[in-house]
Structure 1
Amino acid sequence: MTHPSPAEQAFSRAAPVRLWEDGFARDPRPYYAALRAQGPVGWAELAPGVPAYVVTDRRAALDLLHDTETFSRDPRPWEATVPDDSPVLGMMRWRPNTLFADGAAHLRYRTTLIDAFDLVEPHDLRGRVHRAVHLLVSRFGPRGEADLVAEFTRPLMALVFNSLFGLPDSASDRLDAAIGKVIEGGPQSAEGEAEYAGYVLELIAAKTARRGEDLPSRLLDHPAGLTPEEVTWQVFLTLGAGHEPTSNLLSNTLSRILGDPAFHSTLTSGARPVTEAVLDVLHHETPLANYGIHYARTPVTFHGVWIRAAVPVVVSYGALTQAVDEERVADRRPGDASHLSWSAGPHACPVRQPTLLIVTEAIEQLTQWLPDLEPVLPRERLTWRPGPFHRSLTALPVRFSPRSPDRPGGRP
């Protein structure tokens, strides 16, 4: 085994970049610049007293994401080193699902998810999105004003995922509130985790007793033979990973569209595809900014940095997008997938196409119902939710001509 050099020892003693500060939510750019100044791998804190290595270089990120021999996704050795009330445990605690598994166990879990989602036909998913948009616009459309985060993007994701998982619309607010507490990693994280776990446990108990045409039932009946407990944790992962990042992708895309009148006019006229706006956000304001967490199986030197075992190694997708040079940005073409927002390697997002369909359909439907949407605040005055993991707006206030989808002729 190699040992850390004096330079590597000095690195680990350097002051960590504190990703839990309020300033990080307001403007992450100087924090990412400070991390990149340390080299391909920076030194940070995810919460007070919770250090982590943060990968800010694309080549290093790809090496990490593909190296299953050196690095593991199992956080249990790290968990033993942090207090039980750590605010980041809700996002990082080990559970028996595909996110925290390696090797054969990971493949088994991942296969069940892919197979379950493959049974969701695009036209069926499109119909669920259209129905959710209609329901939400019918609530706020007649007022002529709305907060698109609180009244559209977050409840829309809860409605769509509740329908896929066989739950009524009335349960959507409970899902949205619980997941929001978990991902922010603040003082309410443990409370949110307990609420969310209870939500999922009730769902699986209901589906174990009586199957339906929904994703939990397909997981329970999958030939891989998952136990009810394993299905519970698969659903725990899938609901959270589907709801929160997709909601953030939707709100970040809407804010960029509405903040650029030229962009908005070309989208509403059909001259420019919505997918181009979504790709722009994936490149420059990715919704899950810091995650893809790995742990070195044994101490190792990685891209010039001595990595200790049982210390999180986080991929900063946010720092990677900000590190793209201007020439590369200028040369980018629609459809370019050079970003790593979907991650890479064996743990790359298995449901990127359904995610893109949900976001693009939601934006297209909303702008058809409300073609004269305009922001109340300039984009630089919008505020962002705290937390080290995500890039998520607190609110997106807009105004428009009052419209009721239920009134004849109400739709353009």
Structure 2
Amino acid sequence: MSAYPPDRRDFTRTAPVRLWEDGFASDPYRYYAALRSQGVVGWAELAPGVPAYVVTDRRAALEVLHDAETFSHDPRPWEATVPSDSPVLGMMRWRPNALFADGAEHLRYRTTLIDVFDLVEPYDLRGRVHRAVRLLAGRIGPRGEADLVADFARPLIALVLNDLFGLPDSQGDRLNEGLGKMMEGGAQAAEGEAQYAQYVLELIAAKAGRRGDDLPSHLLDHPAGLTREEVTWQVFLTLGAGYEPTANLLSNTLSRILGNPAYYSTLTSGARPVMDAVVEVLHHETPLANYGVYYVRRPVSFHGVWLREAVPVVVSYGALGRFAEQDAAAGPHPSDASHLSWGAGAHACPVKQHTLLLVTEAIEQLTQWLPDLDPVVPRERLAWRPGPFHRSLSALPVRFSPRSPATASTAASAASSTSQGVRT
């Protein structure tokens, strides 16, 4: 990097790749190819009139993720340049939490989150997942058909997270509605942000008045001494980051499994672990496709591109997965072809293991309860939700043999015993 090199490339006269278009949801790889045709850093729009640099090369992405002196997470200089009604503000505006902080402040926030999530033991999380699967499978089992997005993935994550955050099961629809609108970044984004913010404010008000054995209460009592406002914004971050990406990871993985009959048959027999499918999704259909957002502290040249201040620099995890193999094969110094969906550096996801356990356990339990899930729509014809940040299915309709809760419970017990035998 240099101060102002003569060979810099400035994108101000280049037509941006519009990630907010409906076509991006249906075929993101065409848009990633257009970005890569511009080089390892491309020029895009996250919303009409909201430009961004997009990094599509793994080695360049790692430079961004590890260079805290050049790249910051603080969006406030950028915020001053965009209209107050921009549909992406809900996802990108500054808040006093770990995502938008740097240095010592970030470390303080991040440490509190790691500490409180460390209190959630794997057996405890597994038990919460099993309870949620039993509840949902009991609802859909007798029907013989379901939408695994609306009837399983999204309500299951809502049930588990509300349990962890000390909220009743009945609050799941509110969580789903507010976050869904905000994530899509469309006309209802501001409404969704307001709904979700109200959800969190009510939660913190309740926990401030009466503690419980839940994550917000542990944050309020953490030795770091977070203020009530700081706790509110940590919960705003963690509840949102836990819900949308995890629900999408779950439904995307189910889609990949069900779309491959050979894969599904070996999975249900216990011969192939769910984790294989999860890793494939993180590589090829990562839930947070374009949400590694940084800002340069000063104008710099980066891989031949002149990066200006107050313009987002987006690490595209979706594009990285798409191009990882070809980048690794290109040489002369082959890179690791693995995905970067968990991030890297100081801001890498702090709850990776919790997320993986939740998703794999949910799929294993569901396929034990309902072992003959049959997709109604071919995988290539499934619809995807709009939005520049995520890769999220609109629906995943399936059919299966109707099962009462009692029948499903017996089948699940038998499958569990068989599966345990295979693992042994």
**In which range does the TM-score fall when normalised by the shorter chain?**
over 0.9
Residue pairs, 1:157-196, within 5 angstroms: 157-196=157-196
Quote the residue 1:16 is aligned against. 16
Quote the residue 1:247 is aligned against. 247
Quote the residue 2:54 is aligned against. 54
* SS in structure 2 of the partner of residue 44 of structure 1: strand
Matched, 1:378 2:384: no
Residue 291 (structure 1) shift:
1.1
Quote the residue 2:324 is aligned against. 324
Distance 2:351 2:67 in 1: 22
**Which amino acid letter does the alignment assign opposite residue 133 of structure 1?**
V
Residue pairs, 1:93-108, within 5 angstroms: 93-108=93-108
Matched, 1:391 2:391: yes
Say whether the 8 Å CA contact 2:324–2:337 is kept in structure 1: no
Distance 1:337 1:23 in 2: 27
CA RMSD of aligned residues (A): 1.5
Distance 2:143 2:342 in 1: 37
- Cα deviation 1:190-217 (Å, max 9, x = unaligned): 0000000000000000000000000000
Residue 338 (structure 1) shift:
2.3
- Cα deviation 1:260-302 (Å, max 9, x = unaligned): 0000001000001111110111111111000110000111111
Residue 5 (structure 1) shift:
4.0
Distance 2:359 2:337 in 1: 17
Residue 156 (structure 1) shift:
0.5
Quote the residue 1:352 is aligned against. 352
Residue 7 (structure 1) shift:
5.5
Distance 1:237 1:34 in 2: 32
Residue 128 (structure 1) shift:
0.3
Say whether the 8 Å CA contact 1:404–1:410 is kept in structure 2: no
**Which amino acid letter does the alignment assign opposite residue 296 of structure 2?**
A
**Which amino acid letter does the alignment assign opposite residue 141 of structure 2?**
G
Q: Provide the TM-score with structure 2 as the length reference.
A: 0.93
Unaligned runs of 5+ residues in structure 2 are 330-335, 415-424
Residue 6 (structure 1) shift:
6.4
The structure 1 segments of at least 4 consecutive aligned residues displaced by more than 3 Å after TM superposition are 4-7, 326-329, 406-412
- Aligned in 2, Cα 1:217/1:337: closer, same or farther, shift over 3 Å? farther
Residue pairs, 1:271-286, within 5 angstroms: 271-286=271-286
Distance 1:390 1:363 in 2: 21
Quote the residue 2:332 is aligned against. none
Matched, 1:146 2:146: yes
Distance 2:116 2:327 in 1: 41
Residue 327 (structure 1) shift:
9.8
- Aligned in 2, Cα 1:327/1:405: closer, same or farther, shift over 3 Å? farther
Q: Provide the TM-score with structure 1 as the length reference.
A: 0.96
- Cα deviation 1:33-81 (Å, max 9, x = unaligned): 0101111110000000000000000011000011110111000000000
**Which amino acid letter does the alignment assign opposite residue 309 of structure 1?**
E
Distance 1:70 1:56 in 2: 18
Unaligned runs of 5+ residues in structure 1 are 330-335
Quote the residue 2:306 is aligned against. 306
Quote the residue 2:369 is aligned against. 369
- Aligned in 2, Cα 1:292/1:367: closer, same or farther, shift over 3 Å? same
- Aligned in 2, Cα 1:118/1:79: closer, same or farther, shift over 3 Å? same
Distance 1:157 1:215 in 2: 16
**Which amino acid letter does the alignment assign opposite residue 259 of structure 1?**
G
Residue pairs, 1:83-102, within 5 angstroms: 83-102=83-102
Say whether the 8 Å CA contact 1:65–1:345 is kept in structure 2: yes
* SS in structure 1 of the partner of residue 178 of structure 2: helix
Distance 1:362 1:100 in 2: 31
* SS in structure 2 of the partner of residue 306 of structure 1: strand
Say whether the 8 Å CA contact 2:300–2:308 is kept in structure 1: yes
Residue 328 (structure 1) shift:
6.0
Say whether the 8 Å CA contact 2:97–2:233 is kept in structure 1: yes
Say whether the 8 Å CA contact 1:73–1:295 is kept in structure 2: yes
Say whether the 8 Å CA contact 1:129–1:362 is kept in structure 2: yes
Distance 2:327 2:55 in 1: 22
Residue 148 (structure 1) shift:
0.3
**Which amino acid letter does the alignment assign opposite residue 235 of structure 1?**
V
Distance 1:298 1:261 in 2: 52
Quote the residue 1:27 is aligned against. 27
Quote the residue 1:216 is aligned against. 216
Quote the residue 1:333 is aligned against. none
